Structure 1
Amino acid sequence: MKAWIALLLVIALPFAVQVNAKEEDKEGAAPKVAYVNLVPAIVGNFGSGTHLKFFKADIALRVTGSEAEDKVEHHEPLIRNQLVMLFSQQTEASLGDLEAKEKLRQEALKQVQQVLSQEEGKPLVDDLLFNNLIIQ
C-alpha cells in the first residue's frame, strides 16, 4: 500500500511543480497593455454659424490588464457620448494646429478618466490616442 502512495507522489510531483511555476509566471509577469479601439469612428459636427464643420475621430484607449479592458468596453457608450459632447464644443481654431489637437487629446483623456472614475472608482485608461482626426 505504501508503495502505491509513493508511486503516486512520484508521478504527481512534476505536475504540481509545473502548476506552481505557471502561477509564479502569472504573478511575476508585467500587466498586459491593451488598446481598446472605439469602433466605429466618432463622427459629428462642431462650430456655430451658417456653416457647420464636421469631424471624424478614430480613437484608441490604452489600458493595463484584461479587467480594465473589459470594463472600458462595457462603458464604451458612455465614453463615446462624452467624447462627442467634447468634440461638438470645439471651434475651428481649437482643432486647427498640432498644439491645439494635443490639448484636445489631453482634455479627452481627462474626461474619459473622469467618467470611468465615477462609474468604476478608478480612471482605468492610461492614455488616449488619435489614430486619425479629420476636420472638414
Structure 2
Amino acid sequence: MAAEDGLDVGAEEGGKKGGKKKLIIIILAALLVLGGGGAAAYFFLFSGDDSEEVAEGEAAPEEMVQTSGPAIYLEFDQPFVVDFMVSGRQRYLQLNMTLKSRDQAQIDAVKIHMPLIRNSLVLLFSSQSFDELQSIDGKMALKAASVETINNILVQETGLGGIEDVLFTNFVMQ
C-alpha cells in the first residue's frame, strides 16, 4: 500500500504541475489577446482622428509648409503685359512681380509650374477693370487675388500652398 501511496502522490504532484502550466499558459494567452486588442483599439482610435481632421478641416497640408525662417523671394523673369479696351482706346498694364515665401520647396514648385501660374495670372490680370486698378484699393485687391490664384495652383499640383505675398516691383498703366 505504501507503494500505491507513493505512486498516488507522484501522480498527484505531476497532475498539479501540469495544471499549473496549463493555468499559466491560459493566463499568458489571455494577456496577449487583451494586449493585442488594446493595441488595436489604440491604433484605430488615435490614427483615425488624424485622417478625419485632414478630411474635415483640410488644414493639415498647410501646417506642413514652413512658415518661419527667413523670407525667400522669387522674381518673375518677364513682365506681365495686358491690354484693355477702355472707352474705345487701347490701354496697357505692365507689371513685374516677385513672390515671397518661407518654404524653399514651394518656391521650387512655383518654378516647376511656372507656365500654368503665368497663364492663370494673365487671365486674372486681363479680367480686371482698368479704372479699378488705378486706385490703391484695386491694386491691393489684385495682390490678394494673385496670392490666392498661385496658392490654389500649388495646392492643386503639390497639395500645399505656401506663398505669403506677391510684390509688384513695377506697375505701369498707360
Specify if TM > 0.5: yes
The residue identity in structure 1 corresponding to 2:76 is: L
Name the aligned partner's letter for residue 168 of structure 2.
F
Provide structure 1 residue ranges, at least 5 long, that are not aligned to the other structure. Answer: 1-29
Please state how far the C-alpha of 1:33 moved relative to its aligned partner: 2.3
1:35 to 50, 55, 73: 73
- Show the counterpart of 2:130: 92
RMSD between aligned residues: 1.6
Structure with greater strand share of residues = 1
- Higher relative contact order structure (alpha carbons within 8 Å, sequence separation ≥ 6): 1
Larger radius of gyration: 2
**Unmatched segments (≥5 aa) in structure 2:** 1-67
Q: Could you say which structure has the higher helix fraction? A: 2
Instruction: Report what 2:47 is aligned to.
Output: none
May I ask how many residue pairs the two structures share in their alignment? 107
Is 1:47–1:91's contact at 8 Å kept on the other side of the alignment? no
Which residue does 1:115 correspond to in 2?
A: 153
Q: What's the counterpart of residue 101 of structure 1?
A: 139
Residue 147 of structure 2 aligns to which amino acid in structure 1?
Answer: L
Are the counterparts in 2 of residues 59 and 132 from structure 1 also a CA contact under 8 Å? yes
What is the letter of the counterpart of residue 56 of structure 1? Q
Match of 1:11?
none
Partner secondary structure for residue 69 of structure 1: helix
Partner residue, 2:84 = 46
- Which digits, 9 at most, give the CA deviation of each residue in 1:31-74, with x for residues without a partner? 44211111111112124563221111110111213222211111
Map 1:1-136 → 2, pairs under 5 A = 31-47=69-85, 50-136=88-174
Instruction: Give the alignment's TM-score, normalised by structure 1.
Output: 0.71
